[in-house]
Structure 1
Amino acid sequence: MPTPKTPKGEATRARILEAAADLLIAGNGLNIDDLLGATSTSKGQLFHYFPGGKDELRRAAAERHIARMAEVDAPATLATWPDWENWVGQILRRHEQQQRDDICEVAALAGRALDTDRVTRDLVGGMYEQWAGQLRNQLTDMQRDGLLRADAPVTELASALLAALQGGAVIDKATGSHHHLEHALRQALVLLRTYAL
């Protein structure tokens, strides 16, 4: 992948990549003509920045989607019980602001997990594992700090929290509801609290 050598080149490549990620998570595939129209670029520019063509662009777009997820929903510091409540509240507030037809980064990720491209699936799988690991590490730190019982199954609790977030977001998007995600995350927190000290 060539590195743009000028600020203008970097901006052009970033514009193409953001638009490609938007198309990917909208479930519309990567129609090159749509992408060119959305970014006001030519095929020559597209293949200059993505010489591997559509396959390279799809993988780069999947990586960008995953990076967006890390920017938006990956936990920063969850060291106290109020931190957990605030994190869940932040997710729910953002979710409630979305309309049913709005793109949801979390829900769209589920579709990428079923992608026919093995590289894309592996990228998504790696993102889930990283996300679960971040949650597990936060819980382990709470054990160390005396806020969570030593027998708390931190790996299983992290998986439950992540599944509640992903599954709730998908079901809400499918049904047009704002309640499945909230119920799933709130109950996950109730489970987590059973191990509080």
Structure 2
Amino acid sequence: MAKETRGRMVDAAVGALRRRGLQGMSFTDVLERSGAARGAIYHHFPGGKSQLAAEAATQHGREVRDRLAGLGGATPQGVAAAFVEFARPVAEAAAQGSGCAVAAVTVPADEEDGELCRAAAAAFASWTEALAGALRQAGLAPADAEEKAALLVALLEGAQVLCRASGGTEPFERAVRAALGLFPES
């Protein structure tokens, strides 16, 4: 039961980070959405908000990495196109005010030890490696696969910010048109 409560709290924190960012994430919201008792906060997260946010970003990072690792395509452009289809709903959600739970923890106002940025950096690195692996399998040379994978991750994260700011998905679509031309068809 305790593990279940903890998991619900982390899931609720992911949602709060996506909706409100780190500064807007509150324990009240996490408790309300998870159904956990107030005493569960420091029982499960003795490090407080930073620990909860780091674990939420890490979990969300793993979930995205696992989905990216499952992308496939017979060609590098096929992998990029599969990535675009994965990312399109994310851009649509961003246009409606949602954000990335991992990116949200990179903007801490008062973090001194860098735990949150390390968690985000590890998640982003795992996404890049998952995409690079798919691109290598589709025939790209390792160095080119790494560079193009980094481009796709940057496209995803940057497009979310631009889509959220504009309230539409045109920034994402423009970036996709520019990026897809960089991927070989065979």
TM-score by length of 1: 0.75
Identity of aligned residues (%): 25
Q: Secondary structure at the match of 2:138?
A: helix
For 2:94 and 2:137, locate their aligned partners in 1 and report how far apart those are by CA, in whole Å: 36
User: Which one-letter code corresponds to 1:113 in the other structure?
Assistant: T
Find the counterpart in structure 1 of residue 124 from structure 2. 128
Q: What do residues 71-105 of structure 1 show as CA deviations (whole Å, max 9, x unaligned)?
A: 55x2414241344323312422x246537334233
Q: What do residues 81-135 of structure 1 show as CA deviations (whole Å, max 9, x unaligned)?
A: 344323312422x246537334233xx5333223353111011111111211222
Change (3 A) 1:40 1:95: closer
Q: Secondary structure at the match of 1:131?
A: helix
User: Which one-letter code corresponds to 1:109 in the other structure?
Assistant: V
Whether 1:183 aligns to 2:184 is no
Q: Secondary structure at the match of 2:136?
A: helix
**Aligned-pair CA distance for 1:152:** 7.4
Q: Secondary structure at the match of 2:98?
A: coil
User: Which one-letter code corresponds to 2:38 in the other structure?
Assistant: K
Higher relative contact order (CA 8 A, sep 6+): 2
Paired residue total: 179
Find the counterpart in structure 2 of residue 171 from structure 1. 162
CA contact (8 A) 1:113 1:121 kept: yes
For 1:97 and 1:133, locate their aligned partners in 2 and report how far apart those are by CA, in whole Å: 25
Find the counterpart in structure 2 of residue 5 from structure 1. none
For 1:152 and 1:57, locate their aligned partners in 2 and report how far apart those are by CA, in whole Å: 35
Q: Secondary structure at the match of 1:153?
A: helix
**Structure exhibiting the larger radius of gyration computed from Cα positions:** 1
Change (3 A) 1:152 1:41: closer
Q: Secondary structure at the match of 2:121?
A: helix
For 2:35 and 2:163, locate their aligned partners in 1 and report how far apart those are by CA, in whole Å: 34
1:36 pairs with 20, 31, 40, which one? 31
- Gap runs ≥5 in structure 1: 1-7
- Gap runs ≥5 in structure 2: none
CA contact (8 A) 1:100 1:173 kept: yes
When the two chains are superposed, the root-mean-square deviation of aligned CA atoms in Å is 2.7
For 1:109 and 1:79, locate their aligned partners in 2 and report how far apart those are by CA, in whole Å: 26
Find the counterpart in structure 2 of residue 142 from structure 1. 138
Change (3 A) 1:68 1:128: same
For 1:151 and 1:16, locate their aligned partners in 2 and report how far apart those are by CA, in whole Å: 39
CA contact (8 A) 1:88 1:185 kept: yes
